Chain A
């Protein structure tokens, strides 16, 4: 070790071979550079408008043949753009149409990536602006059709947003129906398919909810005994409620 150190040391001339003015130049330049940086303290964030997406062609060009990496990098960039520290205002001031276009172009780079859908349903659809929520929910719905068995969680999330944030039960029902009819893989949990029933009940469409459960049981999509028992129970409850409404002469929705 000592030999290596000695040989390394021996390659260069000693430090005092450097003239003093050079040291002074280094010290003064460094001090002035740091002073300049301290004075021009850079802004932590700049609230900039989200630019228009350059389009899939340009993004593919920039990817230099590696669209999967570009997909991730562009997503991080987009996310960092919104999360400009200290500029929380910028978050809800994002142009939802531009945002949607960016997400469309980014997911096209790598359709297997779930990140754009997660961002759309969890980050952006949560923004307290109805137009943003609707546009981003629609983006998730549109993308869901391409790969329903992998993308159902995000549509499920926006269905809940449609019900609880947008108070738009028909929209929530539309999303739930899409999940039930298209996400038919074995990995899709049964409660997801039953969302449609819950929304129908909430809308006061008891007959349709009853038919839905009946159809589900008849289609043999449900195999677990506990689940069959649960659905039968719901079916009985719905029939009882229907009789009750029939007795009072008007539907639940009207009474509410």
Chain B
């Protein structure tokens, strides 16, 4: 077997794993859930708009954007965790590892499949948001949502490889996600002038928060509602989202691969 043929086979297996993952999404009624989230989000947005006496469009798009962002993250995290647990329970992982592909091939196949689902979710939600926002700003929001979902997918895979069970893995995914979005606010509060000065535990706490802010992805700068409301998103935001998304995806993938390669099945 030639080298090229061998590589093609590897790629073929990866694509097959990715396709199986997509099929899993279709057959487990994920589409229905996504459409339901979209429907609830739109209903909420119209309801909020009906209540408002001014800034109707701004209120609608802010409510819709916030709801869809959180909904997409929850749906993707739970889907990845459940799909991966099923893979373990049904011995699908063992079957994949018995094939002539490295563990990295299996991981990237799954990641590719989940990413395709994340892309569809992000596209659907962006189309909904575009009804209420300028096209370019809505597109920026959509790209950012896609990268945010990619990070959630990789994080969920890493957590599941580590904990093997949904509850601790989901708790960890949510903890990291909430911290990544709110750590900057924690820094503000910690450095405020009413905090006691020259106190060791306050100093240690602030350094710990600084450390977290440095290691976690800056999700507070992703998928911002202000882009939709005020239209102030720009190329710099896009560049940051893409750079941060790609780098952190690589980091999470590497961590997940280290865990996967060390696993003794």
Contacts and interface: CB of A to CB of B under 8 A. Distances in A.
Nearest to B240: A40
Nearest to A83: B192
A114 to B, nearest CB: 16
Contacts of A85: 188, 191-193
B253 A25 contact: yes
Contacts, number: 83
A37 B255 contact: no
Given A40-B218, A42-B218, A80-B189, A29 B257 contact: no
A42 B184 contact: yes
B248 interface: yes
Contacts of A84: 188, 192
A244 B250 CA distance: 89
Contacts of A29: 247-248, 250-251, 253-254
B130 interface: no
A37 B214 contact: yes
B263 interface: yes
Contact of A44 (B187, B193, B248, B254): B187
Interface residues of A, number: 31
Interface string B229-265: 0000000000010011001101101110110011110
B262 A17 contact: yes
A13 B263 contact: yes
A143 B244 CA distance: 48
Contact of A13 (B185, B188, B218, B264): B264
B218 A19 contact: no
Interface residues of B, number: 31
A25 B108 CA distance: 14
A22 B104 contact: yes
Contacts of A23: 254, 258
Contact of A26 (B213, B217, B251): B251
Contacts of A44: 187-188, 191
A36 interface: yes
Interface in A25-42: 25-26, 28-30, 32-34, 36-37, 40, 42
B258 A26 contact: yes
A40 B213 CA distance: 12
B194 interface: yes
A11 B264 CA distance: 6
Nearest to A15: B262
B262 A13 contact: yes
Contacts of A37: 214, 218
Interface string A188-222: 00000000000000000000000000000000000
A83 B194 contact: yes
A80 B184 CA distance: 12
B226 to A, nearest CB: 10
A79 B214 contact: no
A226 interface: no
A26 B194 contact: no
Contacts of B261: 13, 17-19, 22
B94 to A, nearest CB: 15
A171 to B, nearest CB: 28
Contacts of B262: 12-15, 17-18
A49 interface: no
Contacts of B214: 34, 37
6 contacts: A22-B261, A29-B247, A29-B250, A30-B251, A32-B247, A45-B188
Given A18-B258, A22-B261, A34-B214, 13 more contacts: A11-B264, A12-B262, A12-B263, A22-B257, A23-B258, A26-B255, A28-B250, A29-B254, A30-B251, A44-B187, A79-B192, A80-B192, A85-B191
Interface of B: 102, 104, 184-185, 187-189, 191-194, 213-214, 217-218, 240, 243-244, 247-248, 250-251, 253-255, 257-258, 261-264
